[in-house]
Chains A and B, each alone.
Chain A
Amino acid sequence: MKLTRSEFCQFTLNSRLELLKEFGKNILKKKVQMRLISVYTISDFYVEVYENLVSHKLEKVEPVKNINILDVYREL
């Protein structure tokens, strides 16, 4: 199953996270201030996930274009 970026973005944040958990691979998890930041790969792109650890709300589940994303987070 291959979802394109634009197809992935048709879904709500909650569904995107479900899709990532069911079809993607988590490659990074990092706590930055009050957020848990995760990076997943799904199909042929990366997705950034921001979860607010205080409100327990999803703030962002977006594909990223920067292929050096992992380096960016490792440097944080």
Chain B
Amino acid sequence: MRSINTVVETIDQIITDGVKRDILHLYTDDNKFHDNHILLKGQKVVNFGSCSYLGLEFDPRLKEASKKAIDNYGTQFAESRAYVSIGLYKELEELFYCLFDAPCVITPTTTLGHIANVPVLISPSDAIITDQQVHNSVNTAVKLLAASGTHIEVLRHNRMDLLEERIRLLRNKHQKIWYLADGIYSMFGDTAPLDDLIRLLDLYPQFHLYIDDAHGMSIHGKHGRGFVLNKHDFHPKMVMATSLAKGFATGGAVMVYPNKEMARRVRTCGGPLITSGPLQPAQLGAAVAAAKIHLTDEIYVMQEELQERIKFTNLMLKKYQLPVIAENEAAVFFVGVHLPKVGYNMVRRMLHAGYYVNLGIFPAVPMKNTGIRFTITRLHTFSQIERMIHTMAEELPKALKEEGLSYEDIYKAFKLPAPEEQLIDKEVASVIKQALSLKAFHFTTIRSIEKEEWNKLFDNKGTFDWDGMRLLEDTFQNNELTENNWKFDYIIIKDVLTKEPVVATFLTTNLWKDDMLSPAVISENVEARRVHDPYYLTSTIISTGSLLTEGDHLFIDKHSACWKEAMQLLFDKINLLQEKYNANGIVLRDFQDIDAEFESFFIDNGFFKTAMPDNNIVADMKWNNEEEFYQHLSKWSRAHFRKQVKKYQDKFDICIEQNPTEEDIDQWYSLYENVKNNSLELNTFTLPKELFRNIANDKSWEILTLKLSAGTQEPKKTVCVVFSHIGQLNYIPMIIGMDYSYNKEYKVYRQALYQLVMRGKMIGKKAVHLGFSASIEKKKVGAVSYPTYAFMQIKDSYNAEILASMSLATGVN
């Protein structure tokens, strides 16, 4: 597989799109700030994106202290804290000791605080469990431990029942079990279940809690200690990290420990505290002033003023019936809008109306859970809040209509109950959609579609012409094992006027192994778990094409003026099917040569791009015999051919099998199982034997075998079998079986590839499709590798995150 980082590519695409639309990477135009207004692109807007919740950034005492610190110490003190810190640090540490009533270490940022803490506090013999939604900065620090072999796993968000289960299981194997979570989660503003966590801390001696309370600092608790310490006293098995760059209004971070020894060790051994720069005088001066305010009763007045605004915001969100994700105690709110395109649309509309709000988008949230994230500060007036929410409530239906979506789509995406009033909107929306000049036809069997019509669309595109689909339907229905029962759906969207198809595809819904494309070493680990739990890390997926077909599964007439509308209609149909079959993911696959417009279209609709294994095709068949084929090869491939193929050619007899017996099929199936069990790079469920019987009786397929010739150790022994589809133009080998005991001696696999190319030529085909994986081997027989991509949507990314944590633990990408 290509070493392409498609996650980075997707992030790049999404953020760049946002930059182009003037809603991300913005700069303020103001020369001076006076209040919560900022000037963006020449327009004065109310800032609903600030995390300075108490508005202390404008407090004259902080500003004065900052100026004074610069006057006294200059703009910076450029020495590592391992050597010397300026005196303000000492004063601030003492103030924090009073504020938290616990030992503290100050770090330049919360991220650097985690990087200082995690490798010092957590040993390789401990286990780490991270909450699925813990802040990315915590995960950054956890990655540093992966190389040392620390056990790392991900827990479904806030699931305390599962956490207790894992503690019980891990407590005999690990000295300590650390759970890493946020006090207040930065996107949805929901909170950690602290009562349960404290109960677990009390109950299990091995259990320890590492909690990031960045968004709770200052706005809750005695002296503004934060959300976590407002709910419970400091637990002796808890470490807390919190930010000074939000409610505290100065920059920097503070790490709080249950004892002095722990604080000393981090201060002494934490990487960033040895080699990184310190907080600078301006920030330290302001921090001392802010800490002093926190130690007076004034902080409670400020907290109350903010809490009143939070209460008012919750009330307004309810009144205006916005799809808010969680009613919050925090000052962070998230209104779901479902797809990125609605998010872009809404942020733009809000900016035009005079309100700056954040776009909550991938990778911070899943693609289909895009939303408008906004924050409330003490500086907002009630009327600013009311007008902003009122505007949002007015603009959201317009944005949804413009993007062809409804409130119901949002409620479904976030699994929220929809108010009745808004369901009526959906009915109206669907009437509008039907009025378009497109009509969708949906079938659940190929037998309901005219053979000629289907083949006109998909002949020569792969093994999924009309007969190919009939064979799949006959094989993958009414079987005993869940994984061998597939749902088939065929969708053709036609232009009502021309009656011609604009978009067409077929979809299969079945169980996939989540590690299908993971590195083999990961699949090995997963397969070990599957011995006892066969469906561990498996998901129902709805996909264009099937696990047994390769090629261009999606017909799009891009000459049609309404291809995008037709695709939109297809997405609607697929979403309905996903709901009907309760599928966790949608995969639209086998795309090559994707242009920017096409890619943007998919990303706007909540899909992310991922690399599939390269597809290998021998398309240059302009040779007539073995010698000409040899001359067609590159110099390097010729050498390979001489040494690895030609040399062993006389060791094999090549046969095209006719009328096989049940015994033959048993033998070939066993050869297939050898390959299947040896191919964890593309880890799928084992195909049923029924498929091999059906292929043997189908005229569109042929079975080529390689038998050892006379003069070898076991003459006539079948050492390789290949099942190939014969298309009108193409020869498509789909399934291979091999006896590996002869592969080293006679290079069976390489011989098979060569013989397949020869066979394709012999029966007059224009190309031989050698399929995914083993690109290097396939190139040696003249194949060209085509980068292939899929677009995916995942409802629940928990299994993917477990696999990512396994990758971390095994050190593979």
Contacts and interface: CB of A to CB of B under 8 A. Distances in A.
Interface of A: 1-3, 7, 10-12, 14-15, 18-19, 22-23
Nearest to B384: A22
Interface string B299-319: 000001100100110011001
Given A12-B304, A14-B308, A15-B305, 20 more contacts: A1-B316, A1-B319, A1-B390, A2-B319, A3-B315, A7-B315, A10-B315, A11-B308, A11-B312, A12-B308, A14-B305, A15-B308, A15-B312, A15-B382, A19-B312, A19-B382, A22-B382, A23-B382, A23-B383, A23-B386
Nearest to B381: A22
Contacts of B305: 14-15
Contacts of A18: 381-382
A7 to B, nearest CB: 6
A10 B382 CA distance: 14
Interface in B631-690: none
B793 to A, nearest CB: 37
A10 B390 CA distance: 21
A3 B312 CA distance: 10
B665 to A, nearest CB: 74
Contacts of A22: 381-383
A14 B312 CA distance: 13
Contacts of A23: 382-383, 386
Nearest to B390: A1
A18 B312 CA distance: 12
B308 A1 contact: no
B243 to A, nearest CB: 27
Interface string B396-429: 0000000000000000000000000000000000
Contact of B311 (A1, A2, A10, A14): A10
Contacts of A3: 315
A16 B386 CA distance: 15
A10 to B, nearest CB: 6
Nearest to B308: A15
A14 B390 CA distance: 24
Contacts of A19: 312, 382
Interface in B369-405: 381-383, 386, 390
Interface in B257-305: 304-305
Contacts, number: 30
Interface centre among A1, A10, A15, A18 (most CB of B within 10 A): A1
A68 B277 CA distance: 69
A72 B560 CA distance: 75
B790 to A, nearest CB: 47
B674 to A, nearest CB: 71
A15 B306 CA distance: 10
A9 B785 CA distance: 70
A3 B318 CA distance: 12
Nearest to B383: A22
Contacts of B319: 1-2
Nearest to A8: B315
26 contacts: A1-B316, A1-B319, A1-B386, A1-B390, A7-B315, A10-B311, A10-B315, A11-B308, A11-B311, A11-B312, A12-B304, A12-B308, A14-B305, A14-B308, A15-B305, A15-B308, A15-B382, A18-B382, A19-B312, A19-B382, A22-B381, A22-B382, A22-B383, A23-B382, A23-B383, A23-B386
Nearest to A10: B311
A12 B303 CA distance: 13
A5 to B, nearest CB: 13
A65 B192 CA distance: 42
- Give the 8 A-B residue pairs with the shortest CB-CB distance, closest first: A22-B383, A15-B308, A1-B386, A22-B382, A19-B382, A11-B308, A18-B382, A7-B315
A24 B84 CA distance: 58
A41 B381 CA distance: 19
Contacts of B304: 12
B391 to A, nearest CB: 12
Contacts of A12: 304, 308
A34 B319 CA distance: 39
A10 B386 CA distance: 16
A70 B374 CA distance: 41
A23 B384 CA distance: 11
Interface in B307-365: 308, 311-312, 315-316, 319
A63 to B, nearest CB: 16
A14 B382 CA distance: 12
A7 B315 CA distance: 8
A20 to B, nearest CB: 10
Nearest to B316: A1
A42 B382 CA distance: 14
Contacts of A10: 311, 315
Most chain A CB inside 10 Å of its own CB: which residue of B304, B308, B319: B308
B384 to A, nearest CB: 9
Contacts of A14: 305, 308
A23 B382 CA distance: 9
A34 B304 CA distance: 28
Contacts of B316: 1
A22 B390 CA distance: 15
A3 to B, nearest CB: 8
A14 B660 CA distance: 89
A1 B386 CA distance: 7
A19 B305 CA distance: 12
A3 B382 CA distance: 12
A3 B311 CA distance: 13
A75 to B, nearest CB: 33
Nearest to A15: B308
Contacts of B312: 11, 15, 19
Contacts of B308: 11-12, 14-15
A12 B304 CA distance: 9
A15 B382 CA distance: 9
Contacts of B383: 22-23
Contacts of B311: 10-11
Contacts of B390: 1
A56 to B, nearest CB: 15
A7 B304 CA distance: 17
Nearest to B387: A1
A13 to B, nearest CB: 11
A22 to B, nearest CB: 4
A12 B301 CA distance: 11
Contacts of A1: 316, 319, 386, 390
A14 B300 CA distance: 14
Nearest to B386: A1
A11 B310 CA distance: 11
Contacts of A11: 308, 311-312
Nearest to A22: B383
B393 to A, nearest CB: 11
A30 B319 CA distance: 34
